[in-house]
Amino acid sequence: MYYPLIRSLLFKFSPETSHHVALRSLAIANSMGILGLLHKMPQQPVSIMGIDFPNSVGLAAGLDKNGDYIDALAALGFGFIEIGTITPRPQAGNPQPRLFRIPEAQAIINRMGFNNLGVDHLVSQVQKAKFKGVLGINIGKNFDTPVENAADDYVHCLEKVYDFASYVAVNISSPNTQGLRSLQTGSAFADLLQQLKQTQTRLAEQYGHYVPLAVKIAPDLQDEDIEYIAEQLVQHQIDGVIATNTTITRTGIEGLELSAETGGLSGKPLKALSTYTLARLAQALAGRIPIVGVGGICDGQSAAEKITAGASLVQIYTGFIYQGAQLIEDAAASIKALEAPV
């Protein structure tokens, strides 16, 4: 109800400035107790990966890269929060401008490049947060780490965040770090999964509790790629998969201003491709590994479509930018309606 006015004010700033202004404003509102009065968490329990989620609508990684705003974002009613992508060392990311709104299509193009303050900062922020709900931590590699050594970065981050995460998401699908998506294919993918699984097993014994691993994949995959990914995930006993990241295609925004900017496209134009990838993945996995559906959710119906296509949970980001926290409630309600008797 009030969000269209807030959005119109935020959209007067550059996208990256409005991002920071919005998050800081949420933190102030939360410290005053305002968010708790305005938003209630939808109660729709679901259990996957050995985790009990209060509802199936989560925040995707990328909005809170450093874990600086966990409590404020959690107060909006999300069933789970995913922070990151985080890398072993701090890095500035790509040069600005690197974030572009396309309001006519409810879309965003970004080429942020894993800008973050490093894994140690994120861990310190998680330790400070009061949030006791489901927290995913999304990990990546530094831009200057050679792809052939990428596993070292992922293992380092996994070791650092393991004892602070409800689950760990492995981002090998951002289009904005050179060579990263090559980790989704061939022996590089199998080798990475093997090293991550070995590390997870060792850390579970060390800390006395098991933290699931979920791999985040791209939408820009051929059917045979999806089948290979599914096969490897099952073979290496990975706990979950997140489908999908942003796309390098421009379907749905052709000819619009800024459509030629390089980077990953998210928002409404991503929905069809992302949901297709999810459905093909679900078919290949045949229920052996749960899927988190993300990409193009802009209303309750599109959230429900992810569940129908084979997802157990959904995540939102760009739709949240355009629709506000009402999207959490709408998505949860539409998903709940799928369970109602016909």
- pLDDT tens per residue, range 44-60: 999 999 999 999 999 99
Exactly one of 56, 174, 266, 334 is catalytic; name it. 174
- 33-46 pLDDT, tens digit per residue, is 999 888 989 999 99
Residue-averaged pLDDT of the chain: 97
pLDDT tens across 245-294, in order? 999 999 999 999 999 999 999 999 999 999 999 999 999 999 999 999 99
Please report the pLDDT score of residue 2 as a whole number: 81
Segments forming the whole domain that contains residue 201: 41-335
Q: Does residue 13 belong to any structural domain of this protein?
A: no
Find out whether 116 and 169 touch, Cβ atoms under 8 Å.
no
Share of the chain above pLDDT 70, in %: 99
> 89 in a domain, yes or no?
yes
Sign of the C-alpha dihedral computed for residues 197, 88, 62 and 176 taken in this order: negative
Q: How confident is the model at residue 339 (pLDDT cuts 50, 70, 90)?
A: confident
Q: What is the pLDDT of residues 281-333, one digit of tens each?
A: 999 999 999 999 999 999 999 999 999 999 999 999 999 999 999 999 999 99
27 inside domain? no
Three-class DSSP category at 183: helix
Give me the number of domains the chain comprises: 1
Q: Is 174 a catalytic residue?
A: yes
Answer positive or negative: Cα dihedral of 323, 324, 330, 335.
positive
Q: With left for phi above 0 and alpha for psi between -120 and 50, is residue 143 left, alpha or beta?
A: alpha
Alpha carbon distance 87, 90 (integer Å): 7
Entry pTM: 0.98
> Within a domain: residue 152?
yes
pLDDT (mean) for 15-28: 98
Is residue 31 one of the residues assigned to a domain?
Answer: no
Residue 237 lies in a domain: yes
Say how many CA atoms lie within 13 Å of 13 toward its Cβ: 12
pLDDT band of 1, cuts 50, 70, 90: low
**CATH number of the domain residue 88 falls in:** 3.20.20.70
Task: Evaluate whether residue 213 is within a structural domain.
Answer: yes
With respect to residue 23, please indicate whether it lies within any of the assigned structural domains. Answer: no
- Residue 37's pLDDT is 87
Q: Which pLDDT score, from 0 to 100, does residue 342 have?
A: 55
